[in-house]
Amino acid sequence: MLTKEELPVCPVATTVDLIGNKWKLLIMRELLKGTKRFNELHKAIDGISQKVLTENLKKMEADGIIVRKAYPVVPPKVEYSLSELGDSLRPIIDAMSDWGTNYIKENLM
Amino acid sequence: MLTKEELPVCPVATTVDLIGNKWKLLIMRELLKGTKRFNELHKAIDGISQKVLTENLKKMEADGIIVRKAYPVVPPKVEYSLSELGDSLRPIIDAMSDWGTNYIKENLM
DNA sequence: CGGTATCCCTAAAGATACTG
DNA sequence: CAGTATCTTTAGGGATACCG
């Protein structure tokens, strides 16, 4: 969680601190499609380990970007979804997706 | 430089591979303002070391995102600017900047 | 199923000194 | 000024085992 003291008061740096790494961006991409269970995320994000996924989900939950909902059932069921704040990041991920799509088209086909 | 073999054929992941880390995003932010000399970047990007700046600039140049121009003068003068490809990332950085601006306004003031 | 808890390892980053 | 070179440190991440 960012506090007023340690937050760099710069718009880009602020955003970077919240989602500016590979795994968080890929988690965002999945959750923008809708609510997902832990294992769905694990399978959808290529190369991520259970540990790293858990760690990033915790950070993002602490930052208020995602919401974790655990159902008291056996076997356990946990769902992750975007908070309102998280969903407001949609334009950024969309922009990255659009750019990547175009890049692939231009450079790799 | 990305090759066809190692490139994840996913739009978001492609973009993430090229600029999805803290330092590259902050370098992009500076170069979107215009051409900058090495020392200007060093001073503008808080906390970055000379070594890390050099390394990231080299990677970004290899990826075709930025252009390095060295003038044969003493003392040396080197200017960095965005390539056309790099400039096409502007909407993404702008989106991050806009989001960060709003976040700061909503949550820290 | 959805995690913890360990241990380990390496790539990334920091510190410092030097140079064309 | 714009780097390189070298060394050291740290943190991110992989592997494995276990648990409610």
Q: Please check whether residue B18 lies inside any domain of the structure.
A: yes
Rounded Cα distance between B25 and B28, Å, is 5
A31-80 pLDDT tens trace? 999 999 999 999 999 999 999 999 999 999 999 999 999 999 999 999 99
Q: Please check whether residue B55 lies inside any domain of the structure.
A: yes
| CA-based end-to-end distance of chain B | 42
Q: Please check whether residue B77 lies inside any domain of the structure.
A: yes
Q: Please check whether residue B5 lies inside any domain of the structure.
A: no
pLDDT at B48: 96
Nucleic strand C under 7 Å from the C-beta of A50: yes
| CA-based end-to-end distance of chain A | 42
Residue B104 has pLDDT above 60, yes or no: yes
Residue B5 has pLDDT above 60, yes or no: no
Q: Please check whether residue A69 lies inside any domain of the structure.
A: yes
Q: What is the CA angle B48-B11-A82, rounded to 5?
A: 80
Q: How many domains does chain A have?
A: 1
Expressed as residue numbers, the domain containing A103 is: 11-107
Do the chains contact at B92 and A95, CB–CB below 8 Å? yes
Nucleic strand C under 7 Å from the C-beta of A76: yes
Residue B89 has pLDDT above 60, yes or no: yes
**Neighbour-count burial of B17, counting CB atoms closer than 10 A to its CB (0-12 exposed, 13-18 middle, 19+ buried):** middle
Q: Please check whether residue A6 lies inside any domain of the structure.
A: no
Beta-carbon contacts below 8 Å between A and B: 106
Q: Please check whether residue B103 lies inside any domain of the structure.
A: yes
- A99: CATH: 1.10.10.10
Q: What is the pTM of this model?
A: 0.91
pLDDT, average across residues A8-17: 87
For chain A, give the percent of residues with pLDDT over 70. 92
The per-residue DSSP string of B76-97 comes to: -EEEEEE-HHHHTTHHHHHHHH
Q: Please check whether residue A99 lies inside any domain of the structure.
A: yes
Q: Indicate the pLDDT class of residue A107, thresholds 50, 70 and 90.
A: confident
Summary mean pLDDT of chain B: 92
Q: Is the peptide bond before B11 cis (omega within 30 degrees of 0)?
A: no
Tell me the one-letter amino acid at A1: M
Do the chains contact at A22 and B16, CB–CB below 8 Å? yes
CA A78 to C1' C1, whole Å: 9
